[in-house]
Amino acid sequence: MSWEPVATFDNTAAAELAKAALECHGIRALLHDGTVPTLLVSAEDRDRAAVLLEQTGHLPQTDDEIEAAVAARPDIAARLAESHAAEPFVDNPTDRRVKQLVIVTVFGLLCLSAEFFGDLGTIVVFRLPLMQILAVPFHLYALYLAWTLRRATPRVRPGDRWKIGLSLGLNLFFWGAVVVPVAFLVNRFHDSQRAEWRIERFGDLGGVSLTVGLPGRYGYALFEEKTALGPARVRHFAVSYKNEVFLIDLMTLQEADRGDPVEAAKHYLKRQLENSKVDSLEPITLGDHRGMEAIATYVAAVTNTPSVLRTRTFVIDRYVISLTATRRADAQESAATARFFRSAQLQ
């Protein structure tokens, strides 16, 4: 008689139960208890035996179910005892994958919390920006492991299912936080002198056009606003770069003839900065046009941190042109801000 393998198992107990199940259907089987327990059947019975074993509902899957099934079969328990086999209820591949999922999730969270641990001043390695970047592959791999455990064989133990749910919840919750640190780190290593500066031209300002250098592409918004000089249609352009934000506001007033442009710009800025601490307010010129420059300190509404803005405003006929750079109060004005204002031209 020719014997052929029909299935392999994680432990001897599971193999013995499968062997008993086949024998109940009249299929003679042998168990080769080597490095990997292997179930052998005759060549002519192999296909039928494979079909029966695929009906997993007839066989216990988890270690807890196997242990209960062995306890209900004294004959199998006796054979296991006589064989002096190693403890059959050990970690199977599914158990090891669940443990791996938990470990990967923990490491991912540690990487995301690198800045917090660095602030403690006791774990120097967590101060490295690379730690936050490592969170991305950890969380991706954790999500992959959780996905593959849906149809794992043997099935996940009932007592371990909460670990998958917790890990999946943590990964999905913190996944949104990965994009922010990665984007921040990319900007951190992007030197202002090597930024992708773009010279942008803004027209539709009567007979004047504005050109200015920006470190990247801008975002755009259009809205109506009541200003100190009257209602205005506002074109708003913004570029975020490292810890700074560059703003360009081009306003079209409903009425022309604002009088002296310097006084009009001063009146406009005082109203705009009435909730800020104005450190300086001085007249300036840009080409043939006169305006006002203000430096003020305020508390950012979103982050609730002290910030500094530097803004230059020009009133030309019925148009208001405002260039603004903002930064955190504890940071020095960067070369990017200087370049932003230096590149501005009104023609």
For the stretch 202-241, pLDDT in tens is: 988 888 899 999 998 888 889 899 999 989 999 999 998 8
Contact present, 233 and 204 (Cβ < 8 Å): no
- Regions of the chain short of the pLDDT cut 50: 84-90, 116-128, 179, 190-193
Q: What angle do CA 92, 83, 159 make, to 5 degrees?
A: 25
Query: What pLDDT, on the 0 to 100 scale, is given for residue 187?
Result: 53
Same fold yes or no, 3-82 and 193-346 = no
- Give the closest residue to 210 by CA, choosing from 149, 251, 166, 271: 251
The pLDDT of residue 246 is 95
The pLDDT value recorded for residue 79 is: 62
Measure the N-to-C terminal CA separation of the chain; round to a whole number of Å. 98
Domain locations along the chain: 3-82, 93-188, 193-346
Q: In this structure, what token pair is assigned to residue 199?
A: 């010279």
Question: d(Cα 155, Cα 153) in Å, to the nearest integer?
Answer: 5
- Tell me which CATH code domain 193-346 carries: 3.40.1000.10
Question: What's residue 343's pLDDT?
Answer: 93
Cβ pair 284, 265 in contact under 8 A: no
Question: What's this model's pTM, rounded to 2 decimal places?
Answer: 0.47
Q: Cα separation of 180 and 205, whole Å?
A: 37
CATH of segment(s) 3-82: 3.30.70.1530
Residue 320: closest CA among 220, 213, 206: 206
Q: What is the chain's length? A: 347
